Amino acid sequence: MMAQRLAHPLRVLGVVLVLAATAMAGLSIFGHSYASAQQTRPAGQGGNSAAGNADNGKRVFSSEKCATCHGDQGQGGAGAVVAPRIAPPRFDLGMFLDAVRNAKAPMPPYSAVAISDATVADVYAYLKSVAPAADATAVATPAGNAENGARLFTYAGCYECHDRQGQGGTGTGPRLAPNPIAFSAFIHQCRQPSDEMPPYTSKVLSDTQIADIYAFLRSVPQPPAASSIPLLQ
């Protein structure tokens, strides 16, 4: 009789422990725990915060030679390495920090040892302070057909390095969308690539077809902000 009275509470306790373990496991996403996600943020900042020292961020932007690829004010590069526009940023600090830590080639990743979270927040603050530049290429940029561009993006094999939505491939091509670089720089990169990308001559893709691909990349929606994902709060 005593054994039967003890068995029921022990079974209840076992169920509670299993549920607790399951709840803790649910805090992990893609191999990163909730705690580690919190630690990746600059101290005292939430996923959508923009705190930081813009003056120091400007100095770091210069000393780390970010302008070599991204332009003097983060407007996007047009030289040997055509890097995307990053000022003013169109995503939150959490996503910016992730892009710095897990950069895709040709940009090197920056560890927390090389540049602290607080310093990255300063660079972000500087980029946020940059006034949006007038789009001097808007008139010269063809409207393009985004639907046809989506088909060409697959047909021309762009997805093999840049992934299906131009978000960048792991260890292969850099992110192209959303917010692609200026069209003039984009078509120059297609015709005369600066890295391992093969050249796409006018015999392979016409200017009109490249304009369609560009229109497709511009149509890709912004990813959700980190602040909108409950597990990252």
Q: What CATH number is associated with residue 192?
A: 1.10.760.10
Tokens representing 57? 């961020």
Does residue 28 sit in helix, strand or coil? Answer: strand
Which one-letter DSSP state was computed for residue 91?
A: S
DSSP code at position 175: P
The pLDDT value given to residue 78: 60
- Provide the domain limits for residue 165: 146-219
Does 114 share its domain with 167? no
Domain presence at residue 111: yes
How large is the average pLDDT for residues 196-220? 93
Percent of the chain residues topping a pLDDT of 90: 34
Q: Is residue 125 part of a domain?
A: yes
Residues β-bridged to residue 32: 29
Residues 127, 167, single domain; the answer is no
Same domain, 121 and 157: no
The model carries a pTM of 0.47
CA distance linking residue 81 with residue 105, whole number of Å: 11
Last residue of a domain, one of 109, 133, 157: 133
- Give yes or no for residue 5 having a pLDDT over 50: no
| DSSP β-ladder status, 28-29 and 32-33 | antiparallel
* 131 contact partners, CB below 8 Å, separation of at least 6: 88
C-alpha of 39 from chain center: 19
Kindly state whether residues 182 and 103 are assigned to the same domain: no
The two structure tokens encoding residue 33: 């725990």
pLDDT at 3: 44
Query: Is residue 139 in a domain?
Result: no
Tell me the mean pLDDT in the region 188-200. Answer: 85
Q: What is the pLDDT of residues 152-176, one digit of tens each?
A: 999 999 999 999 999 887 667 888 9
pLDDT digits (tens, 9 = 90+) for 137-149: 444 678 899 999 9
Please tell me the least confidently modeled range out of 3-17, 57-71, 187-201: 3-17
What does DSSP assign to residue 132? P
Same domain, 112 and 186: no
Instruction: Name which of 213, 221, 219, 215 is nearest 152 in CA terms.
Output: 213
Mean pLDDT score, 42-71: 75
Which of 99, 133, 167 is the C-terminal boundary of a domain?
Answer: 133
Could you give the number of structural domains in the chain?
2
